[in-house]
Amino acid sequence: MHWAEFSIGHRGAPLRFPEHTLESYTAAARMGAGIVECDVTFTKDRELVCRHAQDDLHTTTNVVTIPELNAKCTQPFVPAVPSEGKPAQAECRTSDFTLAELKSLQGKTDDVNPMATTPEAYINAGPRPLARGTLLSHRESIRLLKALGVGFAPELKTPVVAMPYEGDYTQEDFARQMIAEYRAEGVPPEAVWPQSFRLADILFWLDQANEFGQRAALLDMDKPTPLNTSLIAMAKLKALGVNAVAAPLWKLLALDDQGHIVPSRYARNARMAGLALLAWTVERSGSLAGGGGWYYQSVAQAINNDGDMFAVIDALAREVGVVGIFSDWPATTTFYANCTGRAGPSRRPFLNIE
């Protein structure tokens, strides 16, 4: 497959490989993703790591099966009591562990058996043996993705711990540290697309690391209202210096009176205001035969088979005009990009927005 920046590996390629692991990132690159995402959070010793959330280690790793580490969890594993209908309990955060401790864990599919009575049964929720993956620090992910020849879409995850962490590690320190690691690894700003759900983070990067902030994407899944989808609201974002927004599929797509998939009011006004658009996430809702679930809610009446995945991607590309699509299985979006001329290192709309 050709290198396609239009195709973005969401957490790597987690439809089959444990998310945010060496194996998942490598698979995404081999499927032709031109950009791969690392969700960035921090450890107890304030090292940055790739995890989708600060508090998901109990569902995405084998931590609860290691007694000495399980004991350090915010909520160590407690077995279910099936006879009383009580589910198992556990909550393990990256901030519960040092980087060295976290690196001793194995990544796994994000799933648990809530009625398990043993740690092993808790993490082995699916019908197949667990695929295991190698966890990465943020710096290790940078080095890996550089070696794979792809770009970077780091998302600064909103911490679940109170900030400042331990009284002196502020949100600004966290945001600054993420960008500093790209600079330290010699990554040019045009190869990085920082993301955050917090507008304050985007504005901080614009002020403190403008060459990176210019490419930052504001993640947005707020429920649409006449106000927040208006051209005025979009123009205000643009005036603040925001150049891109990344939204779920349903927020960018709508149906017209004939039942055809068309750009939403939100998407039309964002484009009119000069904002670049990114979409997330295809390949994350299972079979589309029943309408596609949460990600496809605004176009569910037009979705009835898995082939409609390409109808959605095509609408996002041709009608909405997105510059990139996040996918849990990047091969699908890469295939589309190859077929429609959106692939190849000579076409770089994602990294070069003026």
Q: Region 245-266: what's the mean pLDDT? A: 98
Structural tokens at position 79: 């077995």
In the structure, what pLDDT confidence band is assigned to residue 129 with cuts at 50, 70 and 90?
Answer: low
Confidence check: pLDDT of 354 > 70 = no
Average pLDDT, the chain: 94
Q: How many CB atoms lie within 10 A of CB 121?
A: 16
Domain ranges in the chain are 4-53+134-340, 57-123
Question: Which residue is it, tokens 């550089």?
Answer: 146
Closest CA to 7 of 332, 237, 319, 257: 332
pLDDT tens-digit map of 306-339 = 999 999 999 999 999 999 999 999 999 999 999 9
The conformational region for residue 28 under phi > 0 = left, psi -120 to 50 = alpha, else beta, is alpha
Give the up-direction half-sphere exposure of residue 90: CA atoms within 13 A in the CB hemisphere: 33
Question: Which residue is it, tokens 């790739």?
Answer: 50
The pLDDT, as a whole number, for residue 1 is 36
The pLDDT, as a whole number, for residue 296 is 96
pTM of the model: 0.95
In the structure, what pLDDT confidence band is assigned to residue 94 with cuts at 50, 70 and 90?
Answer: very high
The pLDDT, as a whole number, for residue 344 is 53
In the structure, what pLDDT confidence band is assigned to residue 285 with cuts at 50, 70 and 90?
Answer: confident
Closest CA to 280 of 234, 312, 319: 312
Q: Region 188-208: what's the mean pLDDT? A: 97
Cβ pair 270, 277 in contact under 8 A = yes
The pLDDT, as a whole number, for residue 34 is 95
Homologous superfamily in CATH for domain 4-53+134-340:
Phosphatidylinositol (PI) phosphodiesterase (3.20.20.190)
The pLDDT, as a whole number, for residue 349 is 37
For 104, residues 6+ apart whose C-beta sits below 8 A from its C-beta are 66, 69
Confidence check: pLDDT of 130 > 80 = no
The pLDDT, as a whole number, for residue 3 is 44
The pLDDT, as a whole number, for residue 4 is 60
Question: Which residue is it, tokens 């996002």?
Answer: 316
The pLDDT, as a whole number, for residue 162 is 98
pLDDT tens-digit map of 249-258 = 999 999 999 9
The pLDDT, as a whole number, for residue 258 is 97
Cβ pair 156, 40 in contact under 8 A = yes
**How far is it, in rounded angstroms, from Cα 317 to Cα 340?**
10
